[in-house]
């Protein structure tokens, strides 16, 4: 006989009845995080009466979209909608608005400028939620806002001073008018400025999730006068904001690596115009984009009058230290520490056979390198360590070093100046400060520690190699590096350059006038129609489609759907089966070019084709 089991009733959750819309402003317009490129417009939904009091601009909510529930952000509330069949909001994700009307306007401008889905911008602008933080109470600081006419300036940094201290002093002056937002290229600079100004709040992407969201909410509530962060902080809504300060705007770190690839400089310009706040750029040398705006008098240039002791030493062969420089370094070591700048980290970037000079390669095709003097040759591609290396061409067993790095330099410099302690700063081991009053420091660009009392000499090794790089940013990147080295010197220190005699940067450094080089570079770029005189974009697509894309662009140009002055360069084969084409149009036609490419991407998305990887005004056109 079968066993009779007790009857079990299935529990069913009945959804809340949201069928009654709000009596006042029953429609809400939102951006939806749908993940679909061409569905990037605003959508209307009904506000249920039960949620009406919670719904406001900048709130994160959930809405039904295409048979699923997704996140959305509220743009505005309306009395009615042109659509007749509207769905209801599902729920409120967070009761705290994370954007204001002005920051939403900024996000809209950025998504248009970089041909992006608004939520691609929102993901950069608004940090992930930490619900527990929303229970805390955030009190606004009592800041007096001084209404004044907004200004746009580039402030050149002087030599012989600490960059962070000069920036902190400028921030302190700006904070007398109201709240200040400061953007720096790296997290370590955030810490330096916050240490110098204890009341400042860090808005840094390197913070843990909880701390980052807490500080973001402090900014929204105006809980401090000064906020310091890296590039994503440029979007942070701050009530009573009067100044935006951007340090080292030309740094590669100021460019967003994820799609859509916006940069801090241009977003800051958009925000200053939307919010009508003052905008200050601070650095040793302006980028080409800022140099052009200075030339147009759209930005005021505040130059520093000063002189720097500069000596150059030309290499006769490939020696690291030309003979005459050695005596100058020895004199400097008697006065204080000396900093050497090495263009590359590591020991040797590549190897060749000492007998036949063929480049040493692994069986997989990758080049071999050495990470230290005692390290065995290692493949840069597959990582295989060669325990017993021999040349595949002549079977020679002695490797020859190519492309020496900072570790190899340390070995040679130590032999040239025995008895001096050598400290290195590079890669994952970057020093912020050098606290000793003597010794030698070897650092790569961007990792130079600040000496407590300055360096008696800064030596830039292989100076010509900085100008020989293939991308068009090499000139301004080198200019910024060389001038920043002048900032690390003592007042009686000397900048020692291993550089050709005829290089014009020597005179520019001596007179502390980067404009002498910037103006020359602008004329060269203008003559050949390169940025910043053109709007440039790159399109990476499957090699099988690249020729069809180029033909389509050429036809559009002939039919004047693209600006007549549009140039189409390429294709260039990249890694794998991907190719790239560059498209450039005069700066005045830039908006028309972006609009056309945006529509091209929309149509590919609607046809369910893979989107081309798009970068508008990228940091480099050659990477």
What are the sequence ranges of the domains in the chain?
27-97, 135-302, 309-346+405-521, 354-397, 534-616
Residue 359, pLDDT score: 81
Residue 146, pLDDT score: 81
Residue 9, pLDDT score: 52
First to last CA, the chain: 78
Half-sphere exposure of 530 (CA within 13 A, CB side): 16
Q: Which of 125, 66, 135 is nearest to 94 (CA)?
A: 135
- Measured CA to CA in angstroms, residue 236 lies from 104, 111, 121, 350 at distances of 11, 16, 12, 44
Per-residue confidence band for 403, with pLDDT thresholds at 50, 70 and 90: low
Position 5 pLDDT exceeds 70: no
Position 230 pLDDT exceeds 70: yes
Residue 1, pLDDT score: 46
Rounded distance between C-alpha atoms, residue 191 and residue 63, angstroms:
39
Residue 392, pLDDT score: 81
Residue 11, pLDDT score: 47
Residue 459: asked if its preceding bond is cis (omega within 30°), the reply is no
Per-residue confidence band for 12, with pLDDT thresholds at 50, 70 and 90: very low
The length of the chain is 623
Position 127 pLDDT exceeds 80: yes
Q: What is the mean pLDDT of residues 186-202?
A: 91
Residue 118, pLDDT score: 97
- The CATH number corresponding to 27-97 among 2.40.10, 2.60.40, 1.10.150, 3.40.1440 equals 3.40.1440
What burial class does residue 534 get, using C-beta atoms within 10 Å of its C-beta: 0-12 exposed, 13-18 middle, 19+ buried? buried
Position 534 pLDDT exceeds 70: yes
Q: Which residue has the higher pLDDT, 504 or 3?
A: 504
Q: What is the mean pLDDT of residues 229-255?
A: 96
- Centre a 10 Å sphere on the Cβ of residue 573 and count the other Cβ atoms it contains: 12
Q: Which of 548, 489, 501, 531 is nearest to 622 (CA)?
A: 531
Three-class SS of 277-294: CEEEEEECCCCHHHHHHH
Per-residue confidence band for 589, with pLDDT thresholds at 50, 70 and 90: very high
Q: What is the CATH number of domain 135-302?
A: 3.40.50.300
Q: What is the mean pLDDT of residues 264-268?
A: 98
Position 562 pLDDT exceeds 90: yes
Q: Are 214 and 133 in contact (CB under 8 A)?
A: yes
State what percent of residues in the chain have pLDDT above 90. 73
Parallel, antiparallel, or unpaired for β 60-65 and 226-229? unpaired
Position 2 pLDDT exceeds 60: no
pTM of the model: 0.89
In which residue are the tokens 């390669």 written? Answer: 361
Position 499 pLDDT exceeds 50: yes
Residue 586, pLDDT score: 97
Could you report the per-residue pLDDT of 332-389, keeping only the tens digit for each?
A: 999 999 999 998 776 766 777 878 878 888 877 777 877 776 778 888 777 788 888 8
Residue 419, pLDDT score: 92
Could you report the per-residue pLDDT of 280-320, keeping only the tens digit for each?
A: 999 999 999 999 999 999 999 998 899 999 999 998 776 78
**Hey, is 24 helix, strand or coil?**
coil
Q: What is the mean pLDDT of residues 534-552?
A: 96
Q: Which residue has the higher pLDDT, 250 or 343?
A: 250
Q: What are phi and psi of 579, to 5 degrees?
A: -125, 160
The full DSSP string for 255-282 is B-SSTT--BHHHHHHHHHHHHT-EEEEE
Position 3 pLDDT exceeds 60: no
Position 151 pLDDT exceeds 50: yes
Q: What is the helix (H) or strand (E) element at residue 69, kind and residue range?
A: strand 68-78
Q: What is the rounded average pLDDT for all residues in the chain? A: 91
Residue 399, pLDDT score: 81
- The CATH number corresponding to 309-346+405-521 among 3.40.50.300, 3.20.20.220, 3.20.20.80, 1.10.1040.10 equals 3.40.50.300
- Measured CA to CA in angstroms, residue 6 lies from 1, 9, 12, 348, 608 at distances of 16, 10, 19, 77, 52
State what percent of residues in the chain have pLDDT above 70. 95
Could you report the per-residue pLDDT of 610-621, keeping only the tens digit for each?
A: 999 999 999 998
**Hey, is 378 helix, strand or coil?**
strand
Parallel, antiparallel, or unpaired for β 152-156 and 226-229? unpaired
Opening angle at CA 396, ends 392 and 400, nearest 5: 100
Q: What is the mean pLDDT of residues 40-64?
A: 96
Phi-psi region of 113 (alpha: psi -120 to 50; beta: other; left: phi over 0): alpha
Per-residue confidence band for 469, with pLDDT thresholds at 50, 70 and 90: confident
Q: Which residues contact 67 (CB under 8 A, 6 or more apart)?
A: none
The per-residue b/e assignment along 605-621, b for 16 or more CB within 10 angstroms, e otherwise, is beeeeebbebbbbbbbb
Q: Which residue has the higher pLDDT, 141 or 562?
A: 562
Phi-psi region of 62 (alpha: psi -120 to 50; beta: other; left: phi over 0): beta
Q: Which CATH architecture has domain 534-616?
A: 2-Layer Sandwich (3.30)
Residue 402, pLDDT score: 67
Position 408 pLDDT exceeds 80: no
Residue 210, pLDDT score: 96
Residue 532: asked if its preceding bond is cis (omega within 30°), the reply is yes
Per-residue confidence band for 606, with pLDDT thresholds at 50, 70 and 90: very high
Task: Give yes or no on whether 135-302 and 534-616 have one common fold.
Answer: no
Q: What is the mean pLDDT of residues 324-328?
A: 94
Tokens of 199: 């009341």
Rounded distance between C-alpha atoms, residue 486 and residue 510, angstroms:
10
């Amino acid at each position: 006989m079968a066993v009779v089991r007790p009857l079990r009733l299935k529990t069913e959750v009945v959804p809340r009845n949201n069928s009654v819309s709000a009596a006042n402003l029953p429609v809400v317009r939102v951006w939806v995080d749908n993940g679909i490129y061409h569905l990037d417009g605003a959508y209307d939904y009904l506000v249920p009466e039960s949620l009406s009091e919670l719904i406001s601009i900048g709130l994160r909510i959930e809405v039904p979209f295409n048979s699923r529930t997704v996140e959305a952000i509220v743009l505005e509330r309306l009395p009615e909608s042109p659509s007749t069949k509207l769905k209801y909001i599902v729920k409120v994700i967070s009761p705290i608005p994370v954007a204001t009307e002005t920051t939403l306007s900024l996000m809209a401008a950025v998504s248009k400028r970089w041909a992006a889905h608004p939520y691609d911008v929102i993901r950069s602008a608004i940090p992930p939620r930490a619900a527990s933080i929303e229970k805390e109470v955030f009190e606004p600081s009592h800041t007096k806002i001084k209404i004044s006419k907004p200004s746009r300036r580039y402030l050149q940094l002087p030599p012989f001073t600490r960059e962070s201290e000069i920036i902190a002093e400028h921030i302190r002056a700006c904070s007398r008018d109201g709240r200040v937002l400061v953007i720096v290229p790296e997290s370590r600079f955030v810490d330096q400025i916050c240490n110098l100004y204890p009341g400042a709040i860090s808005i840094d992407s390197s913070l843990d999730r909880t701390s980052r969201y807490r500080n973001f909410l402090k900014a929204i509530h105006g809980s401090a006068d000064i906020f310091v962060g890296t590039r994503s902080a440029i979007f942070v809504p701050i009530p009573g904001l009067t100044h935006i300060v951007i340090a080292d705007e030309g740094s590669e770190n100021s460019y967003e690596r994820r799609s859509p690839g916006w940069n801090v400089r241009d977003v800051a310009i958009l925000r200053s115009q939307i919010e009508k706040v003052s905008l200050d750029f601070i650095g040793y040398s302006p980028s080409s984009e800022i140099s052009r705006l200075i030339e147009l008098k759209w930005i005021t240039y505040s130059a520093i009058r000063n002189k720097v002791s500069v000596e150059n030493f030309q290499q006769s062969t490939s020696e690291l230290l030309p003979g005459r420089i050695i005596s100058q370094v020895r004199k400097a070591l008697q006065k204080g520490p000396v900093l050497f700048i090495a263009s590359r980290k590591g020991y040797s970037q590549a190897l060749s056979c000492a007998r036949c000079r063929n480049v040493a390669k692994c069986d997989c095709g990758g080049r071999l390198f050495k990470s230290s003097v005692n390290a065995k040759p290692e493949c840069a591609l597959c990582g295989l360590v060669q325990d017993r290396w021999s040349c595949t061409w002549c079977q020679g067993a002695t490797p020859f070093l190519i492309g020496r790095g900072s570790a190899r330099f340390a070995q040679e410099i130590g032999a040239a100046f025995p008895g001096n302690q050598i400290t290195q700063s590079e890669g994952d081991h970057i020093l912020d400060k050098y606290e000793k009053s003597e010794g030698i420091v070897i650092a790569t660009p961007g990792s130079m520690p600040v000496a407590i009392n300055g360096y008696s000499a800064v030596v830039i090794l292989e100076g010509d190699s900085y100008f020989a790089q293939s991308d068009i940013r090499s000139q301004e990147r080198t200019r910024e590096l060389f001038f920043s080295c002048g900032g690390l010197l003592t007042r009686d220190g000397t900048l020692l350059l291993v550089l050709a005699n005829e290089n014009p940067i020597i005179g520019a450094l001596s007179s502390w006038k980067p404009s002498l080089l910037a103006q020359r570079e602008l004329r060269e770029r203008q003559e050949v129609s390169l940025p910043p005189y053109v709007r440039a974009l790159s399109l990476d697509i499957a090699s099988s489609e690249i020729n069809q894309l180029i033909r389509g662009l050429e036809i559009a140009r002939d039919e004047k759907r693209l600006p007549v002055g549009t140039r189409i360069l390429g294709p260039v084969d990249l890694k794998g089966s991907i190719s790239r084409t560059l498209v450039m149009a005069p700066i005045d036609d830039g908006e028309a070019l972006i609009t056309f490419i945006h529509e091209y991407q929309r149509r590919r998305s609607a046809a369910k084709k893979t989107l081309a990887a798009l970068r508008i005004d990228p940091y480099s056109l050659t990477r």
